[in-house]
Amino acid sequence: MKPKSKDSGKLRIGDDWNAIRIIALSQSNPLKAIAEFVENSIDAHAKTITITRGKEHGAHYLSIKDDGDGIPRDEAGLPDFKYVATHICDSIKRRLKADGNGSGLQGEFGIGLLSFWTVGDRLTMTSTGTDQKAYQMTMSKGDSRYEVSPKRILFVEKGTELKVAPLHTNSPSSAPSSAMPMQNCISPNRMRVPG
């Protein structure tokens, strides 16, 4: 049998989790991560975005809270956190732009959420369902798992809150030289970004 003179095919990822880790670790600037989070709020039609850096239970945190559309909902009317967590690099915004419906949208690669790894250890994202109850998704740096659960809160609000805690201190011995301490990136109070 004569050997093939040419062979071709399509590239594919062999190890999904390793690829996700590489993408997350390739983002090294915490300020760019914060910008990604704010752009997500803008893309969700938020009129007000509140950025808070604070301290809770002895640990610094960063919160980005908006009054936008919230996480898109699944068929049951619940925030579709499963889609968010299982479609890294598969941006719905890119598809909207390709269909001509994404005018003004900022994101397109589906990797912005992973940038929380440059900011802190754990991300908690909260949004409401059509049942007017709050739900949250939690992800941790370096862990391939995510968890979705109901969140007990006194008043349900429209929009999404993204909270990262504890923030990285980025001491010289534990961080790349280009990284800056997260505590110095934003003043310890609130900043409102009107829409």
Sign of the C-alpha dihedral, residues 119, 125, 126, 128? positive
Q: What's the pLDDT at 114?
A: 85
SS3 110: coil
| pLDDT in the model for residue 171 | 30
- Residue environment code for 85-117, b if the CB has 16+ CB neighbours within 10 A, otherwise e: beebeebbbbeebeeeebeebebbebbbbbbbb
Q: What is the mean pLDDT of each run of 10 residues along the chain (195 residues)?
A: 80 86 84 87 91 94 95 94 83 56 55 86 96 96 95 90 91 35 49 56
- Cα–Cα distance, 136 to 116 (Å, whole number): 16
Q: What is the pLDDT at residue 36?
A: 86
pLDDT computed for residue 96 by the predictor: 52
Q: What is the pLDDT of residue 116?
A: 92
At residue 172, the pLDDT reads 30
CA-based diameter of the chain, in Å?
A: 73
pLDDT at 20: 83
* Confidence (pLDDT) at 130: 94
